[in-house]
Amino acid sequence: MDHLYDTIPVLDLQDFTSDDATKRTAFVKTLGEAYTNIGFVAIKNHGLSDALCKELYTNVQAFFQLDDVVKQKYEIEGLFGQRGYTGKGKEHAKGRATGDLKEFYHVGQDKPPHDLPSTEYPLNVWPEELPDFKTNTLEAFSILEKAGKSMLKAIALFLDLEEDYFEEKVDKGNSILRAIHYFPIDDPDELPDEAVRAAEHGDINLITLLMGASADGLQVLRRDGKWIPITALPDQIVVNVGDMLERLTNKKLKSTIHRVVNPPKEQMKNSRFSIPFFMHPRSDMDLTCLDSCIDEGHPKLFNDMTAGEFLNERLIELGLKK
C-alpha cells in the first residue's frame, strides 16, 4: 500500500553499519519502505566531516567564480561531459530542448581499473588555479563511495539478495562527483518560460548521494502528483534511487522524478551550489530485471542491457553526446 510522505525519512547509517541486528533490520525495513514509495531518504553519520564539506564548497565556489574563458580550458572535447567542466546550458533533461540554468564539473575514479578501457574511464581533469580542488574532491569521492556501498548492502538485503550482491559490480565503478553551479540570472524576465535550474528528471545511476545544497529548490514528485520540497539538515545527505536500480528491480524501487525550481525572481541573482555523487556500477554490469521482481502482477518492463549501454543511451538523450 502506498504511503504518501510529506517529508522524506531520516535514517542513521551507523544503525546499519553497527553489530546491532535489531537496528540493522529496522534500517533495512524503513529504507525499503521509502524506496518503494518516494525513492528518497536523508542519511546522517555518512562519514563526511563538516570541515571537508566547507572546504569542498569553498573550492567549488572559487572555481565557478573564475572567468568563463579560464573555465573553458577544462571543457575537453570528446569526453562528453564525463570529466572536467561542462559549460552553461549544455545539459538538458530527457525529452526537453531547453538547457538547464547550470554549469558543472565532473570528477571520476582517479585511476582507471586496469581491466577496463580508458575510453570508459578517462583521466580526471584538474584546475591548476585551485590546487586544493583535487585533494578535497577525491577525499569526498572516496567517503561518499564508501557510504554508497553501505547503502547498497542494505538495499540488497531488502531485495532478499546476498548482502554483497552489488560489491563487485560497483568496485571501481564509473561513479561521478558533480559540482554544480546554478549561475545568477541578472534579468529573469528575459528567460524562456521553460528555462529552469534543473528540469524534472530521474537520475541515470544506481543511487545518488547529495551533499547539502547551498539553497532550497530541490523538489520531488510524490506518487499522487504533488511536488514536495526536499531539504536535509547540515549533518545529513540525501540518498535517492536512480534509473539503473529501478530498471534492475523492475520498478519495485522507485527512481522518483525530481527537479530544482527557480527561486523568486529577486533571488535569481544569487548563485546556488550543489554537489551530488552519482554512484554508477562498472559498465559491464547486467541490468536485466531480477527474477525476484517479476511475477504475474509485475510483468517485466525493460529490455536487457548493460549499465554501459544504458549510460551511453542517456548521455545522447541529455544532449551531452551525439
CATH code of 205's domain: 2.60.120.330
**Rounded to two decimals, what is the model's pTM?**
0.89
The pLDDT of residue 146 is above 60: yes
Q: Has residue 3 been placed in a domain?
A: no
How many other C-beta atoms are found inside a 10 Å radius of the C-beta of residue 233?
10
Model confidence at 258, pLDDT cuts 50, 70, 90, reads confident
Question: pLDDT value at position 116?
Answer: 61
Q: Has residue 4 been placed in a domain?
A: no
The pLDDT of residue 117 is above 80: no
Q: Determine the length of the chain.
A: 322
CA gap 52, 50 in Å, rounded: 6
| Closest C-alpha to 66, from 183, 191, 178 | 183
Q: Has residue 280 been placed in a domain?
A: yes
The pLDDT of residue 1 is above 50: no
Range(s) of the domain holding residue 114:
10-317
Q: Has residue 175 been placed in a domain?
A: yes
User: What's the rounded mean pLDDT across residues 40-66?
Assistant: 94
User: What's the rounded mean pLDDT across residues 171-181?
Assistant: 93
Model confidence at 230, pLDDT cuts 50, 70, 90, reads confident
| Closest C-alpha to 92, from 104, 105, 83, 101 | 101
Question: pLDDT value at position 114?
Answer: 66
CA gap 270, 140 in Å, rounded: 25
Q: Has residue 296 been placed in a domain?
A: yes
Q: Has residue 2 been placed in a domain?
A: no
How many distinct structural domains can be found in the chain? Answer: 1
- Residue range 277-306, pLDDT digits in tens: 999 999 999 999 999 999 999 999 999 999
Q: Has residue 263 been placed in a domain?
A: yes
CA gap 66, 73 in Å, rounded: 11
Question: pLDDT value at position 316?
Answer: 78
Q: Has residue 219 been placed in a domain?
A: yes
